[in-house]
Amino acid sequence: MHKNGYMHRDIKPENFLLVQSGYYDKEILKLADFGLVKSLKDKTSPLTEYVSTRWYRAPEIALSSRSYNQSVDVFAIGCMMAEMYLGRPIFPGRTEAD
């Protein structure tokens, strides 16, 4: 996705699907919910600051920056990996200020 010039902007565990493949009984991990996808090449429309689920939101988005790139997706994946390792969310904020 990033290689093709797009950022997802809403990476979270709920947007990953584990699909059972009939071919060799393999499980395939797929990314879903492309409603907030933005082209990295589109410079005409501004980037919104309210994207991504709060627990996986990159600092630049949390600080209302209108200038960010695909690194927000990488940050969210890092949060998910830490959550899987620790067994709990690392940024479980209840409000925008948290």
What total of structural domains would you count in the chain? 1
Q: How far apart are the first and last CA of the chain?
A: 30
Q: What pairing do the DSSP bridges indicate for beta strands 38-39 and 16-21? A: unpaired
Q: Which two three-digit tokens encode residue 4?
A: 């093709």
Range of the domain at 39: 6-86
**Percent of the chain, pLDDT > 70?**
96
The active-site residue out of 10, 33, 42, 98 is 10
The pTM (predicted TM-score) of the whole model is 0.84
Mind listing the pLDDT tens digit for each residue in 38-67? 998 887 777 777 777 888 988 888 888 878
With respect to residue 18, please indicate whether it lies within any of the assigned structural domains.
Answer: yes
Q: Is-catalytic flag, 10?
A: yes
With respect to residue 94, please indicate whether it lies within any of the assigned structural domains.
Answer: no
Measured CA to CA, the distance from residue 72 to residue 59 in angstroms comes to 8
With respect to residue 70, please indicate whether it lies within any of the assigned structural domains.
Answer: yes
**Percent of the chain, pLDDT > 90?**
46
With respect to residue 47, please indicate whether it lies within any of the assigned structural domains.
Answer: yes
